[in-house]
Structure 1
Amino acid sequence: MKHLLLGLLFFTCAFSQAQVSVNVNIGSPPAWGPAGYTEVRYYYLPDIEVYYDVNTAQYIYINNGNWIRASALPPVYRTYNLYSGYKVVVNDYRGTTPYIYYKTHKVKYPKGYKGKPQKTIGVPPGHAKKSVAVKSGNNVVVKSNGNGNNGSGKKSGGGGNGKGNGNGKGKH
């Protein structure tokens, strides 16, 4: 009976580890990705005719007639604004070579294509919403949307913080 239970426990542990390893390989969408699509693997960027693979965090584009994968855009597109460019969500393909549909995508989504309005997952760097200061007692509390505020959220506003303000070496 002991061996049966031990075998069952071993089988259960092995099965649960297999499930975890499958989920670990799924990538996170980039901050510039369109909001609302958590289960998608590819975006097609019609303005620059490039695919983005969420799982591998790689761009897929044509270079000298060959499709290549790279962690950065090619030099000619390095200044392309990924936040403002339109992203076509490729949700009907599950393989590893989305460019087999490139001819179809190029015609269906030409350069300059704009579909439904999109919101990005994150805020572009340097474009965080400004914080609003609100007075609360003797402190100024900084309310923020959570983007770009690395401080504690409070500033001392005259009246002290209750911890003293000397150096501990005063006269007694």
Structure 2
Amino acid sequence: MPGQAFKKDPLLPIGEITKRSGVAASALRYYESLGLISSSRQGTTRRYFPRSTLRRVAFILFAQKIGYSLEEIGQQLARLPTDKLPTNRDWQALSRGWKQQVAQRIEELQRLDMDLDHCIGCGCLSLQRCKLANPNDLAGTSGTGPRLWLSDKAPEHD
């Protein structure tokens, strides 16, 4: 879509896109600078966006909420057809892999919830308590940093 206008896709001023999407004009300009959306200018400095930009902005917002970076979102949006307006089927094809990403985020948040009760509730603030959850620092053998939060599974111990 960037740089492409379609006959059945009316242009809307940036203020209308902002109002209808709930996204600040500065964010729209930033998305445009990244090539995620595109605008045109008609004789003035005002930006006009195709109405279909509203769907692209919604896609960007949802994708960010489930953890995709703007670079990853750009890669996904680049798969949309450039010779016609994207259809519902096109959009569904882009979001097909999201269920797995959402499931991973849910699992991570559930682990965080359980660990909040266990670790923060403990109040020990020492390695003594952690030795019970991570005996002999088995998680440390997987590398540095918060291994259990870097998608590593909990170490098996006897």
Shared topology, TM-score over 0.5?
Answer: no
User: TM-score, with normalisation over the residues of structure 1?
Assistant: 0.23
**Bigger strand fraction:** 1
Q: TM-score, normalised by structure 2?
A: 0.24
Q: Larger RCO: Structure 1 or Structure 2 (Cα < 8 Å, ≥ 6 residues apart)?
A: 1
Structure (1 or 2) with the larger CA radius of gyration = 1
The structure where helix makes up a greater share of residues is 2
